[in-house]
Structure 1
Amino acid sequence: MKDLKYLKLLSEQFPNIPEVSTEIINLKAILNLPKSTEHFLTDLHGEAEAFKYMLKTASGVIEYKIDQIFGDRLKDTEKRELATLIFYPKTKMKELDERGGIPPEWYKEALDYMVRITQEVSSIYTRSKVRKALPEKFSYIIEELLHIKECDPNKKAYKDKILTTIIEIGRAKDFIIALSELIQSFAVDKLHIIGDIYDRGPAPDVIMNVLKSHHNVDIQWGNHDILWMGAALGQQSLVATALRIALRYGNLEFLEERYGVNMRPLSRFAMNYYPEPDPELFEPQLINKELDQNEIKIMAQMQKAIAVIQFKLEGQLIKKHPEFKMNEALYLEKIDYDNYTLELNGKKYKLTDTNFPTIKPEDPYSLSTWEEEVIEQLSYSFKNNDKLQEDIKFLFNNGSMYKKYNGNLLFHGCVPLTEAGDFSTIEVNGEKYSGKKLMDFFDDIVRRSYSSKDEEADFKDWLWYLWRGEFSPLFGKDRMTTFLRYFTDEDEPELYKENKNPYYQARENEFTCKKILAEFGLDTEKGHIINGHTPVAEKMGESPIKGNGRLLVIDGGIAAAYHEKTGIAGYTLTYSNTKMRLMSHEPFISKQDALHKDSRDTISAVEVLKFDRPQKIADTDIGEKLSEDVKYLMQLLAAYKDGIIKEKYN
């Protein structure tokens, strides 16, 4: 009776016994379907082509399904041909056409195989969900084909006629493309991105386009995502930082052509004040791209100019917010501008660059009039570009500091710890935050920064702290030494040391992992922590599996800049109804290379966990919600039978 008000509202949707009974039957049946596959990726860093390929292949899931279905019926080379047809149907068929045309027999065989694969990967979903995913132009035909059993002799001629007619009327290519997209979609139902979509690589905007069109995705923000989110809101220190990093990796085309950032104010200023920047310090680090010398020089000039602006703006922030406790990074006031030495901790270091034409030694953090104009114009470009704003809005709406999903805890970097293994505490306005409370505090700050007005700049300033603050769960180090790397000698390695938060050592211990899982209300025996942020040096023997299997670090260096360190080109994690598998990948070279390989792409797959019994939807978070729905529907059914609520019929 205490739920009577809610049951009356529910009766509007299910007004009588037949309708509520049908829904109970439907939900109880769904609870017994297999759990769908989750796909985890992290630290994409603008590597759009590698990312798209991992999605197309479902990180080896599709090739695994082909093996399961066809076994010894197909040779390994034939399986690979079929797989590449699914990954790149348009390109594959175009190549075959150019070799002399595609015979009807090839189409018939390809369609037969692809229908079988589509049946397999869609079998774990309800007919309703499958129907909604079907392309409108082929929905009726595909639905018919999906429900013809391979062993049914009564439907063999029916199925064959459908396929031959598709070929006869010239729709085979379009049909193969439609089936390929369905297979890719069904192979992975839920996509988790564990942070750092932006920086280093050339096309984060392309990654964002893919994510925005995906049917089921969530994002756990990384420090590089927060950097761009803050820059898009006009936080000037983050605008300067985002531009400096883009210039450092030679991504001027991405800034100007795809996000419409007007770089002319910066280029004019830079050419005037920094005509000859140090080539060793400021030339872009080019990976898999070439630029002419004039482009390289302009980028070096702009990088030097925006770096100086960045360090000035950061100094202003540190002085404005003593609660950030970052006075150590007030480098510009620690320079002797007569001798060009930097004094830190009682020791003097010679600067490698002495050209600071816009810095006033008596007021080093003040911007010149021209610098103010430049950063204002750049901030305007960030705040008023529709494409960038659309992408950032998606990050705010679909992202979070952490996520609890199906018993696992997902976050990008760390939960800050002390050396003793306790949760680190920060105090803001008299309130103390640590552990889950600290993560919730920062999550709230990020969301409030999006809706805050310009005069409420403190929320946006906290985004800068999340980018590089000592107790930022997204950064996880005691300091950022960018200024020192630019302007001091490499023979002073102690200057560049960025000490990781104790979390990164403590997570090797199962006790710490369980402590964190308990802090977030998760099962310490069944739950897992899934991290990104720190590339795993696999070639040096480091394992991505920590804490006796309780924690997985799935950053294997998808970004080309990390391949040398990790020895691989990224990890992905899949979590199906029977197991969790961690895959390590070889470098993605190009679409053409992928199309003409004879072997699989994954270097290796590690079975992290195999379940004693296949997981059902009843075992998931969605299942928990559906079970709650069934409980109330059963109460409504009882209320109808007892006459407490009257049935309604049309």
Structure 2
Amino acid sequence: MKELDVRYLERLSQLYPTIAKASTEIINLQAILNLPKGTEHFLTDIHGEYEAFSHVLKNGSGSVRRKIDDVFGNTMSSRDKQGLATLIYYPREKMDRIKKEEKNIEDWYKITLYRLIEVCKCAASKYTRSKVRKALPPDFAYVIEELITEKAEMTDKESYYNAIVSTIIRIGRAEEFIVALSELIQRLTVDHLHIVGDIYDRGPGPHIIMEKLMEHHSVDIQWGNHDVLWMGAAAGQRGCIANVIRICARYGNLDILEEGYGINLLPLATFAMATYGDDPCECFQLKGEPNYSQTEMLLDIKMHKAMSIIQFKVEGQIIKKNPGFKMESRNLLHHIDYEKGTIEIDGQTYELLDKNFPTIDPKKPYALTKEEEDVMDRLERAFLNCEKLQRHMRFLLSKGGLYKVYNNNLLYHGCVPLKDDGSLKTVRIYGRSYKGKSLYEILESYVRKGFYAVDPKEKERGKDMMWYIWLSENSPLFGKDKMATFERYFLADKETHKEKKNPYYCLLENEKVINGILKEFGLPEEGTHIINGHVPVKSKNGENPIKCNGKVLVIDGGFSRAYQKETGIAGYTLIYNSYGLILAAHEPFESTEAAIEKESDIHSDSTIVKRVAIRKLVGDTDIGKDLKEQIEDLEALLMAYRSGRIAERI
């Protein structure tokens, strides 16, 4: 053996010090390889819709109800099945209501515990006892393991289980036990969760979603452009800060910043009222139907305008500082005729819908006033010093990236920038050329530099790169020729609002192009898929999320309420279990209260994308590859022990 191999095996022998321990681990790993693969769930473009997101996690996109059907078949009514499902999703809340209605609560406890134990057995059946044991709630671990483990040698199993269940009820622990079983079923139903971008913006609770994700037992995240925008804001990048605040103001979600993250917006509010107090700000009306009083609405609208003007100035400064970004065409303030109230774009003159610009000096249109500078200074410090926001961003950095290859699936949020002919588009990043996979990797490295680089110049580049990723036409997370924010606010001509998409979006049915992308990321042409978010699929217009004969799955179906009129549904979940791929299209989620009170679930229509003839095992997955390598290493250790090269540590 080489010296390096011997040193590695010496280290491995510290974990497995004897032949017996190494042999036992090989047997354990080999057993795991022959289990059915765990169920993966893919969600994208959640956009702050925390109630719907939480419910989809709880019901496993219908998987919990399917397990109930598998266990009880026709022996339980549909109403009782739905009641049991609701109990599993919301155990505490549902029991509070049941206790008020149920006359013999002890009988209900007994029946319910037995039903939950059976569902739990079904959910746990595809895992090793070791994995189930790790998922068990500490307070009830031993008892649950006894109840869900078959004991073939026991002659009177019924009386044994009856004794355990009766004791649980007698000593007043039935409710906590029901909660523990329900949460265990939820956990076992979704083995691994993939979030394919855009947790943030538009909806009211991205901070709540982040807390739930941080509690999840197994998750990865492919960053969306909205996520990278918030990451840039947390790193103190002013263009990102301005965009974050403007979007929160536009959707009536300033509470996310003030209450969710404790960021003080009083300096901005004070400035907005002083500067735009008499301005109706007609172009800055809010999206959706925020729960505001008239006074709050007027204040938000003025803050919305104040931050939008600051954003256009700050972005102008970023573009001037970074000529390599090639975004000079997006600097529009110096094209305004402030006396006439018009702007010239691409040789054409347009009248502005709003002509009141009290903070813009026509000679220096991108310079912040003293008051605006003070507002931005204070906001920058607030974002940098917000412990909760920094904690959430560190989680995104640790669990996320711009793309992921997992179990023969390629996951990314937006697009791979292409030329019109379908070939990879070359993009210059700080003087060097990149395309395809290398473009994704250099951009991701700069995101991390924006937080962790020691060199101040590289850290500043990383921060600016997060803004670039948010809105550049060459960004794989955006992929349009412009972000027409200014035009949408100030110009009536709808033609100026159009954002031309990268050719990628027109080539999703072109198998040659898709095969080229798969090859670029090291995947074979057959048996692999691209799983994509970012652009909502207009299901109501007949658009199909399954493209290129099933090789591409665009799973943004309008999880965000802001998109549901456009899509006609309320999001997709892709489920990848041992039998194949299932795409679930969700109806809108009414509310958590309705889910508990009316026992209403999210209705989902499922489409089988791919069904395998032979059930996939753990050995067929990426985890299986790692386990096989571990087995090889342990077998090498066994040989070293038996040859006398390495001594057992007895």
On the 8 A contact 2:446/2:461 being kept in 1, the answer is no
Shift of 1:150: 9.9
Partner of 2:451: 450
Residue 60 of structure 2 is matched in structure 1 by 58
- Which residue does the alignment assign to 1:94? 96
Q: Percent identity?
A: 50
8 Å contact 1:77–1:599 — kept in the other structure? no
Following superposition, the deviation at residue 178 of structure 1 comes to 0.4
* 1:322 maps onto 2:323 in alignment: yes
Cα shift readout 1:284-331 (whole Å, capped 9, x = no counterpart)? 2233x4211110000011010000000000111111111111111111
Cα distance in 1 between the residues matched to 2:505 and 2:67? 36
1: distance between equivalents of 2:431 and 2:327? Answer: 19
Deviations 1:393-450 (CA, angstroms, capped at 9, x unpaired): 1111111000011111111001111101011111234421000010111111111111
**Matching residue of 1:134:** 136
Per the normalisation by structure 2, the TM-score is 0.97
1:120 aligned partner: 122
Alpha-carbon contact 1:340-1:350 (below 8 Å) kept:
yes
CA distance in 2, matches of 1:149, 1:181: 24
Aligned partner of 1:380 in structure 2 is: 381
Structure 2 match to 1:573: 574
1:550 alignment partner in structure 2: 551
Query: Which residue pairs with 1:345 in the alignment?
Result: 346
Taking the TM superposition and a 5 Å limit, the aligned residue runs for 1:171-320 are 171-287=173-289, 289-320=290-321
User: Counterpart of 1:39 in structure 2: which amino acid?
Assistant: H
The 1:501/1:278 distance shift into structure 2, 3 A limit, reads farther
Q: CA deviation at 1:149?
A: 5.9
1:499-518 correspondence runs (5 A): 499-518=500-519
Letter of the aligned partner of 1:480 in structure 2? M
Amino acid paired to 2:62: G
User: CA separation in 2, counterparts of 1:452 and 1:35?
Assistant: 39
3-state SS in 2 of match to 1:574: strand
SS in 1 for 2:41: strand
- Out of 68, 71, 77, the position equivalent to 1:69 is 71
Q: Which residue of 1 aligns with 2:488?
A: 485
- Post-superposition offset of 1:139: 0.9
Deviation at 1:603, TM superposition (A): 3.1
The 3 A distance-change label for structure 1 pair 568 and 192 is same
Quote the residue 2:534 is aligned against: 533
Give, in whole Å, the separation in 2 of the partners of 1:84 and 1:96: 12
Residues 530 and 554, structure 1, Cα contact 8 Å, conserved in 2: yes
Q: What does residue 615 of structure 1 align with?
A: 616
Question: Shift of the alpha carbon at 1:600?
Answer: 5.2
The offset of 1:372, in angstroms, is 0.3
CA distance, structure 2, for counterparts of residue 43 and residue 159 of structure 1: 45
Cα distance in 2, alignment partners of residues 172 and 73 from structure 1: 24
User: Which of 459, 464, 469 does residue 461 from structure 1 map onto?
Assistant: 464
Which deviations, in whole Å up to 9, do the C-alpha atoms of 1:196-230 show, x marking residues without a partner? 00001011100000001111111000000011000
Aligned to 1:13: 15
Q: 1:549 to 1:157 in 2, by over 3 A?
A: same
Query: Deviation of residue 504 (structure 1)?
Result: 0.8
TM-score (norm 1): 0.97
Unaligned runs of 5+ in 2: none
Counterpart residue number, 1:389: 390
- How many residues in Structure 1 have an aligned counterpart in Structure 2? 646
Q: Distance in 2 between matches of 1:471 and 1:246?
A: 25
1:325-384, Cα deviation, whole Å (9 max, x unpaired): 111111101111111111011110000001000101111000101100001111111111
- RMSD (Å) for aligned C-alpha atoms: 1.5
1:281 to partner: Cα distance: 1.6
Are residues 167 and 150 of structure 1, via their aligned partners in 2, closer, same or farther at CA, if it must alter by over 3 Å? farther
Shift of 1:579: 1.6
Evaluate the alpha carbon distance shift between residue 597 and residue 512 of structure 1 in structure 2; reply closer, same or farther with a 3 A threshold.
Answer: farther
Matched with 2:30 is: 28
CA distance in 2, matches of 1:224, 1:337: 33
- Contact 2:99-2:105 within 8 A present in 1 as well: no
Letter in 2 for 1:190: H
* 1:78-135: CA deviation from partner (whole Å, max 9, x where unpaired): 1111100100111111111122555211111110010011111111111111112111
Aligned equivalents of 2:151, 2:528: Cα separation in 1: 38
Structure 1 gaps of 5+ residues are none
Q: Which amino acid aligns with 1:343?
A: E
Q: Which amino acid aligns with 1:51?
A: F
Offset of 1:276 from its aligned partner? 3.5
* Aligned residues of 1:415 and 1:423 also touching (Cα < 8 A): yes
The answer to whether the 8 Å contact 2:324/2:431 transfers is no
CA contact (8 A) 2:594 2:600 kept: no
Superposed CA offset, 1:559-604 (max 9, x none):
1101100101110111111121110111111123223456753330
Asked if the contact 1:44/1:198 (under 8 Å) is kept, the reply is yes
User: CA, structure 1 residues 281+429, in 2 after alignment: closer, same or farther (shift >3 Å)?
Assistant: closer
Write the distance in 1 (CA, Å) between the matches of 2:556 and 2:429: 32
Amino acid at match of 2:479: G
Preserved contact between residue 351 and residue 487 of structure 1 (Cα < 8 Å): yes
For residues 616 and 155 of structure 2, the distance between their equivalents in structure 1, rounded to whole angstroms, comes to: 33
- Aligned mates of 1:99, 1:428 — CA distance in 2: 65
Aligned counterparts of 1:187 and 1:631: Cα–Cα separation in 2: 31
Correspondences of 1:77-88 after superposition (within 5 Å)? 77-88=79-90
